[in-house]
Homo-oligomer: A and B are copies of this chain.
């Protein structure tokens, strides 16, 4: 289960793109000093078809510069040395080794929830990348592109038992499964590469949307044929019946209005990225609580997209009564009891303190006549052992 992926077994030197074959690296000798004229990308493209002229065409046969530079495989790859990725689970799961980077951690040198969500997105896309099914979109397969379909996430649940440290080596496993007739489930596990201990687990459900009509779509047969061979019946989080998250109204305790998406919040889909939603949610919780607590779990129910011109309002409400009556909470709580531990500097209190704190969240678009829900959320928190930074 915990075998390390330390060195790729082989590096395929030939990639194929849409029927063309591109052989390894284009070798262009350049001088690295800044005052030297280097070959432009178009000169390289020209060289690729046996000409050294500065071509203005952006295509080499059917190979665009973007394709040369991205090298999205059109056939299944078992290993990717650059992504440190590996196909596992009898050929259908994906494992990637990552190092927690300096800018992915907060003041306590532990990875932020946002960083974990980013790594979930990255490994999911790399899984599709390795499959040979990736068209040039945000995880859409060739069959989906032919049908003008894109993936939209409908639900996401994350549990964090331990936050990875700056510089720590992680193994992230991800795989997909069926979700109803027209959906897909994607799960993740984050483990310490050194010890094999699970740090975090996540599950999500995805449906297809017509890119033009923006309406949800059934899964076409050709898409099912592409992705269903990759389905595994295995769950990162064993859920009890997931309860609906209560919808907050204007009486919510904390409200942050007039949140404006910035240019830098938009992703490849030209929409506000999901990770930004979570930031807006968490920033609405009072600083004093955030300084003394650590997030142990989050559930998100997505309702609609948010565009760059929308004005967003974030509401949140702490649980008045800490009696656990909600299925989501029970599930989060159970997992907390099952994976106890005391972590130096990481603020985890261990098996004796199972008290957890809950918040309900809502992001909505402020409309003139009515508000429109973007996402509902539930977060669970545990008290930090210490609010001081590590000082070792």
Q: Which residues of A approach B to under 8 Å, CB–CB? A: 1-2, 4, 6-8, 11, 25-44, 56, 58, 64-72, 81-84, 97, 99, 101-103, 105-107, 109, 112, 114, 118, 121-122, 125, 129, 136, 138, 159, 162, 164-169, 173, 189, 192-198, 201, 235-238, 262-264, 266-268, 270, 273, 275, 279, 282-283, 287, 290-291, 335, 338-345, 350, 389-390, 392
Contacts and interface: CB of A to CB of B under 8 A. Distances in A.
Which of A168, A279, A290 gathers most chain B CB within 10 Å?
A: A168
B197 A30 contact: yes
Contacts of A84: 82, 84
Contact of A197 (B41, B102, B121, B262): B41
Given A68-B194, A165-B69, A237 B34 contact: yes
Given A6-B11, A33-B238, A267-B107, A122 B101 contact: yes
B118 A65 contact: no
Given A34-B335, A69-B194, A262-B283, A102 B39 contact: no
B70 A166 contact: yes
A153 B112 CA distance: 24
B342 A40 contact: yes
A35 B165 CA distance: 24
Contact of A392 (B1, B66, B114, B235): B66
Contacts of A101: 118, 122
Nearest to A137: B109
Contacts of A31: 1
Contacts of A58: 344
Contact of A28 (B27, B195, B343): B195
Contacts of A32: 1, 173, 189, 198
A273 B101 CA distance: 14
Contacts of A81: 6-7
B270 A38 contact: no
B41 A343 contact: yes
19 contacts: A1-B32, A7-B81, A25-B194, A33-B238, A34-B338, A36-B338, A40-B339, A65-B343, A102-B125, A103-B118, A106-B264, A107-B266, A112-B264, A136-B390, A166-B268, A263-B290, A264-B279, A264-B283, A270-B389
Nearest to A168: B69
Given A103-B267, A344-B66, A201 B34 contact: yes
B338 A37 contact: yes
A67 B168 CA distance: 10
Contacts of A118: 101, 103
A66 to B, nearest CB: 5
3 nearest CB pairs, A to B: A40-B341, A58-B344, A70-B167
B29 A1 contact: yes
Contacts of A335: 34
A159 to B, nearest CB: 8
A257 to B, nearest CB: 15
Contacts of A197: 28, 30, 38-41, 44
A71 B102 contact: no
B196 A109 contact: no
Contacts of A112: 264
Contacts of A138: 102
A164 B65 CA distance: 12
A392 B39 contact: no
